[in-house]
Structure 1
């Protein structure tokens, strides 16, 4: 199954702040908020941080550590024999993969993963999101766009 990915991070090249995976089918989304860095980029402080907890009840995840998030993602994907992680921005895939590395030479117990990077000229997850710059809502917007386009 495909899982639509979005992340929020502390400015260009900054630390990962939040991550969401939204399945193609079903309603069991995953959303993690990581500890905030001490120094926040001003744009992130204004446009991302106030919306980190703007998620509905019942979503897996929440505030967590990097290692716990990696382990939660492994459990979340465990029942899928062929998960495909779909993103519309290269950094999202990079941050996702980096999160899975739990220490030097070790990673979360995920099986095989495939990645798909979509280029959607003219589409913006933030402009189509119920809560712009919230990883969960942006990932949902990406899923809805892709499934709508495919239909």
Structure 2
């Protein structure tokens, strides 16, 4: 199954703040660092101002809220989420999303979560797909869902949106 990945992070090359993985069918996984941890980074002025203005206000938006869990547990959450799938393809639209996903998989020095072989596909697109009602840019889950819908539509697996009537 294909899984569409998006992350929000603390500026270019910064620490991951949230990750969303939307399967082509089924319920997505959406994780964020604990609220108190993010608040502490803001208080200590360790969050990029752009992230404070555009990412943090929408981390929970229009009915899509993450599970706030310690970053050290994300790998195990991902392992549970993918359990039983033996044909995994991760799809992302930005290389840093892939890098953060790989870091989530590493749970100890020399140790990673239990996954079968998997593939990664990089799609260079603007994934803000405006036909998703309530979509909010810079929310990892909305962005992953947008990428999923755009990808499936381009591959003929989802009907193209109908033109709006005046």
Give the structure-1-normalised TM-score: 0.88
Aligned mates of 1:135, 1:14 — CA distance in 2: 15
Per the alignment, residue 95 of structure 2 pairs with: 90
Aligned mates of 1:45, 1:127 — CA distance in 2: 23
Q: Is the 8 A contact 1:125 1:132 kept in 2?
A: no
User: What are the equivalent positions in structure 2 for 1:1-150 lying under 5 Å apart?
Assistant: 1-26=1-26, 28-35=27-34, 36=38, 38=41, 39-54=46-61, 56=63, 62-120=67-125, 124-126=126-128, 128=130, 130-150=135-155
Aligned mates of 1:73, 1:55 — CA distance in 2: 24
Relative to structure 1, the CA distance from residue 50 to residue 118 in structure 2 (aligned partners, 3 Å threshold; closer, same or farther) is same
Q: Is the 8 A contact 2:129 2:149 kept in 1?
A: no
Unpaired segments of 5 or more residues in structure 2? Answer: 157-166
Relative to structure 1, the CA distance from residue 55 to residue 15 in structure 2 (aligned partners, 3 Å threshold; closer, same or farther) is farther
Give the SS at the match of 1:125. Answer: coil
Give the SS at the match of 1:74. Answer: helix
Aligned mates of 1:75, 1:150 — CA distance in 2: 28
Unpaired segments of 5 or more residues in structure 1? Answer: none
Relative to structure 1, the CA distance from residue 108 to residue 67 in structure 2 (aligned partners, 3 Å threshold; closer, same or farther) is farther
Aligned residues: 145
Q: Is the 8 A contact 1:55 1:136 kept in 2?
A: no
C-alpha RMSD over aligned residues = 1.8
